[in-house]
Structure 1
């Protein structure tokens, strides 16, 4: 809008514009290739569609009429569905000279038509791709046939060579690369054939030489075995001589100890008995003196056992209740257990059969095992010893067990702890004879003394004693120094005329034999 002035006086305004009609809409359609409509606030101003598109444009004009503000939806295309067809619609506002929105240009493009074109193009590309793929396959197949046929022949010849047929050859034809490959393969086959022939000659000579060496080796093995057996016999003999020397020294020591202790023990027992005679019946010290007399008798029997160990003297045989022996030993050591805070638990079978032997010597065995258990748990707050008896192997044996919760016995020491003079205690605290004497006593009773260490810790010493009157023999698993072993066990035991069945060790396997 331009003002018109004459003589300094404005007498009007010139407005230049363009009619918003169907002709303008048609020109915009040709420029943008879209459907164009021009609408006002309340009615359509121009359109460029045919009669068939009038229902769709009427629906569009109706939506514009109901829209409260045209500018709210201008500036970016939106998708509208008109008369069952999807369109991308762009609204551009029309403003008057005072910048009020009086209508809008509406540009529409059919989204369904565009997607149909894309689908058509996609289908054309797919057909083109399939044609190209088929052509590539045909070309590749013909080329591969030309390459793979010579290679297949070469592969078959290579398999023949791999199976030992070095006469295999291939035809030398085809492309230059394949021709060179075939020539190289034929040369390789010829070389392998010559090498194989020469290798066969070498193998024949080697087999003859190997036969001579094997014969010499057999002679050498026989000589070595004889030498090893001789060395083992020498080592065994040497060990027996050393053990015999120890036993002689121990016998002399035992005799000297027995001689030196006999007189003091006799005097001590005599004075205790004399004091008992002079005491009144209600004197509270009579029980202590009686215990002194009993201890003197026990010490006398121990000294006698030392002499018996050295000279293998006979022992007194009588029916023995193993439970009673264990209970007496527990009472005898009760003071020591209280001093070291050791808890003693008993699991004794009340239906235990009687065995035959020397009760004093068996009490010495249990005393030694309980004392060792006490020493092994020294310093533990939860120290405990479990004593148990049970019947095993179909009633043929009585098994007594002494279990502690100490550190246990390592595997490498289980075959050594029963040797004479072997000890793990500090100097001055053990002579290494306790377990050796105990094993000798148990073997004199026809039984077996062994040790094992459960997974939960501690050590378990097993004393297995035969029950008299059984008359069969079969293999039984005895716990030995290195663990459980399968050994033939004595089933016939007679105690008339001092006849005993002993368990003797031969190497690492325990066997049974009878002796008078």
Structure 2
């Protein structure tokens, strides 16, 4: 049994997935968000410290003005006392009292202004601190609440994958590392889905191989049982022919078409040839990689299809390039590829009138390798069918007529040999399946 052809393709499957968010330009990352939060705290602390220094400077300025006013008031008070001790006239004392009253009112005004400034600045600084701390706290709560919700979403998506859900999840409405994680989880689900589909194809292929091996073993046993009576009939017919030759009575000549013995010998010879061919085809094929001729692969595949009912009314025409070089391949796998392509072509021509269905097989050198083409004049391919033709389990055949695994298996075999396969609609109607294979491909270990 060959290694799984899709095992070496898993990195390719992963590489074929949509690019994760890491390849898209991010607006802001979680690390940058943390840095911005720290910078916001530093900015708030800086504003608070600057406000405190400004408040301290303004208060000191007010206190200095208040001290100066108090000094003037004390000086005028001393002048009044000296004027009273010196027995100054009433007019001078009243002038000093007037200046003293003015200095007192100035000091009182400065004191009230300082009190109001201190009260207003305290309220402003407290309000600013409250707004800043509340805003940062609210933003932090919203940020971590959203972060926790998105983490729970990614966790639920991962648990859904563990339970077998392979559908794409809802993209996260963010552009940071968590979005990358969510995209990576979705990419993992897509890769697992493709891998499971490939394993389903290979599993059915293995079951088909085992079924064919069982049928081949049964056919070989039946052929052995049939061979004995055929040999006996052939022996009796030959003995009868010899008796006719030795009989003196007039008898039909051995080469006479009216002889009843000659048709028996012809049909037994045909039966013996058929049983030998079935025995050869039922033998287990070699699965190792070796140099082989693609033309021989085509010949062997057509021999297997000789008794296929779906090809009964289909004319198969071959045009094989005799100058093709040998290629390193697993001939059994290429025979499977050819069988699937020819049977698909025959199914595509099933709606045509009798004896008008045609399948053409040709081989030629192309692009440093070998190309195998299988053309038919059937119903053709629509763009939608051509787009989904190689998807596992996709089929346009009626229920019970197709499994949707033939073309995916063909693609797996072609890629296993380092080649490729494509489908295209022919201008005159019908479909062409083209398989390109390199000459020197080495199998994956």
TM norm structure 1:
0.40
Q: Which has the larger radius of gyration?
A: 1
* Structure with greater helix share of residues: 2
TM norm structure 2:
0.46
